Structure formats: structure tokens, C-alpha cells
Amino acid sequence: MSKIEIKKDLKALNNEIAAENRDVFKKNNIYTINIMGSPGAGKTTLLENILKPLADSFSIAVIEGDLATANDSERIKKLGVEALQINTDGGCHLDARMIQEELSKIDLNDINLLIIENVGNLVCPISYDLGEDLRLVVLSTPEGEDKPLKYPPAMLNTDAVVLTKIDLAQFVDVNMENMEKNIKDINPKADILKAGKRDGVYNADSVTEYIVKRVGSKKEQ
Ligand SMILES: Nc1nc2c(ncn2[C@@H]2O[C@H](COP(=O)(O)OP(=O)(O)OP(=O)(O)O)[C@@H](O)[C@H]2O)c(=O)[nH]1
Ligand SMILES: [Mg+2]
């Protein structure tokens, strides 16, 4: 078997397990979000700021994916939210089987929102379905306004792009309008949300509202 055939087989197997995960989520009325983005884009900081307001409406568990350390799951646990840590030991993305294994450790009757923070990487996680309902790609302004053009799969295979560190744009010569235009040029359908510090206070209200709305519109289906 050639390398390409093995790769195709692995993707097909991942899709099968993702479908099994999706069935489990459906049976247990769990809405699932997959958060992706480069290392340090601000994924955990975003979570730290949306979990409290989301906890008003949902019972939440978080799965953190990193090559090493339990730093991110520890940050989430500090907020009183159940958090599990996957260490990929060098792997650049989570896959559906890893999520399936973690699901056996969660009381699925107890939660209705599962948020997965993927391994920091703007390429590998994008092509792995985990069985999620919603995909968010976090893109921070210091990464540069041309990144949507240079990493099109991340823009194309997401429901929304969350532009983070908006407070830093001015210091790194990034024009937010250009950055948003670059996202829309690749994927006109992607929703664009913003988060970051305003007057020194982190604000991610638009992300919280977006998630509440998306869960609501799935229930109506
Ligand atoms: N000024 C500013 N700093 C931010 C913002 N969001 C995150 N940071 C900082 O950026 C750094 C990285 O943030 P994290 O939330 O750990 O990033 P991450 O995407 O979870 O990183 P990995 O999980 O390692 O990929 C931290 O020092 C944060 O304090 C923001 O909106 N504004
Ligand atoms: Mg993180």
C-alpha cells in the first residue's frame, strides 16, 4: 500500500469514529465545539472568558489537547469547570479516537455542552473531524493580516473565525479591516467575531452570544 493510500485509509477511519462520536453527542443532547488555531493565538484565554457566562445556560465539560503538560486543563479547572487533558506526545492535532476515549471518562448525562481546544496548529487539526457541531478558528492579530490568505483550509473549514488580541493590532501594524477582508475573500460565509482587551478589560461577549445562538438554532431544527 502506498503512503497516500494509508493516509486516505486513516482519514476514512477517522471519519467513521467521528460519526460514532456524533451519534453519542446526539443521543445525549450534547452540543460540541472544536476550537482550533495557532500556538498562542489565545484559545485558552478566550475559553477562560466565555466559560463563566456560558455556565449560566449550559452544563459544560472541556477537553484540552496539547503536545505536553496539563497547563491548559489546570487553567480551566480553576474556573470550576470539568476539564480533561489529552497529551499527543508530538502529534500536531486531535483525532476522533482520542475524543472517543475521553468521552468514556465523562458523565455524559451531566453535560450539554462540550468544548474541545485542539492542539495549537493552523494546519493539521483542520482536516480531522471530531464529530463536532461547530468549528471556531481563533486567529490573533499579531499573526499578521495576510494569514487568512496563506492558510486557506483553516478559513474554509470553519463556521466562524474569532479574531483575538484586537488590542494588539495597533502595535503590530495590523489593519483589522484588511484582515477581515482577507478572511471574507477566502470564505465569504465565515462569521467573524472579535475578542480581546478593550480599555484593559478582556471582552468576548460576541463569542458567548454567538455560541448561545448557534446552540439555539440547532435545537429548533
Ligand atoms: N493583549 C492580549 N493578550 C492576549 C489576548 N489573548 C491572549 N493573550 C495572551 O496570549 C498568550 C497566549 O494565550 P493562550 O490563551 O495561552 O493561547 P492558546 O492559543 O491557548 O495557546 P496554546 O494552547 O499553547 O496553543 C498569553 O500570554 C495570553 O495572556 C488578548 O486578547 N490580548
Ligand atoms: Mg491553550
Give 150 or 7, the one with higher predicted confidence.
150
Bridging pattern class, strands 82-87 and 113-117 = unpaired
Give me the number of domains the chain comprises.
1
The residues whose Cβ lies within 5 A of ligand 2, an ion, are 43-44, 72
75: Cβ below 6 Å to ligand 1? no
Q: How many CB atoms lie within 10 A of CB 198?
A: 11
Give the nearest ligand 1 atom to 37 CA.
19
Residues 118 and 35 sit within 8 Å (Cβ to Cβ): yes
Residue 178 lies in a domain: yes
The grid coordinates listed for 124 are 493539521
120: Cβ below 6 Å to ligand 1? yes
161-215 per-position pLDDT tens digit: 999 999 999 999 999 999 999 999 999 999 999 999 988 999 999 999 999 999 9
Instruction: Output the CA 46–ligand 1 centroid distance in Å.
Output: 8
Instruction: Output the CA 121–ligand 1 centroid distance in Å.
Output: 14
Ligand 1 pocket, mutate which of 45, 137, 194 (most atoms under 8 A from CB): 45
Residue 216 lies in a domain: no
Q: Which pLDDT score, from 0 to 100, does residue 192 have?
A: 98
Domain assignment of residue 75, given as a range: 3-208
Residue 74 lies in a domain: yes
Name residues whose C-beta falls within 8 Å of residue 65's C-beta, 6 or more positions apart in sequence: 86, 88, 93, 94, 98, 116, 117, 118, 119
Residues 161 and 193 sit within 8 Å (Cβ to Cβ): yes
Bridging pattern class, strands 191-194 and 160-164 = parallel
Take atom 8 of ligand 1 and give the residue whose Cα is closest: 42
Give the nearest ligand 1 atom to 47 CA.
15
Instruction: Output the CA 73–ligand 1 centroid distance in Å.
Output: 14
Which residues are 186's β-sheet partners? none
Residue 73 lies in a domain: yes
Residue 215 lies in a domain: no
pTM: 0.96
182: Cβ below 6 Å to ligand 1? no
The CATH number given to whatever domain includes residue 204 is 3.40.50.300
136: Cβ below 6 Å to ligand 1? no
| Residue 127 DSSP one-character state | G
Residue 218 lies in a domain: no
pLDDT of 1 above 90: no
Q: Which pLDDT score, from 0 to 100, does residue 139 have?
A: 98
23-54: string of b/e by CB count within 10 Å (b at 16+)?
A: ebbeebebbbbbbbbbeebbbbbbbbbbbebb
Residues 81 and 63 sit within 8 Å (Cβ to Cβ): no
Instruction: Output the CA 137–ligand 1 centroid distance in Å.
Output: 14
Measured CA to CA, the distance from residue 196 to residue 8 in angstroms comes to 39
**Share above pLDDT 90 across residues of the chain, in percent, rounded to a whole number:** 92
Which residues are 164's β-sheet partners? 140
Residue 213 lies in a domain: no
Res. 132 pLDDT band, cuts 50 70 90: very high
Q: Which pLDDT score, from 0 to 100, does residue 10 have?
A: 86
Q: Which pLDDT score, from 0 to 100, does residue 58 have?
A: 98
180: Cβ below 6 Å to ligand 1? no
Residue 15 lies in a domain: yes
Q: How many CB atoms lie within 10 A of CB 207?
A: 23
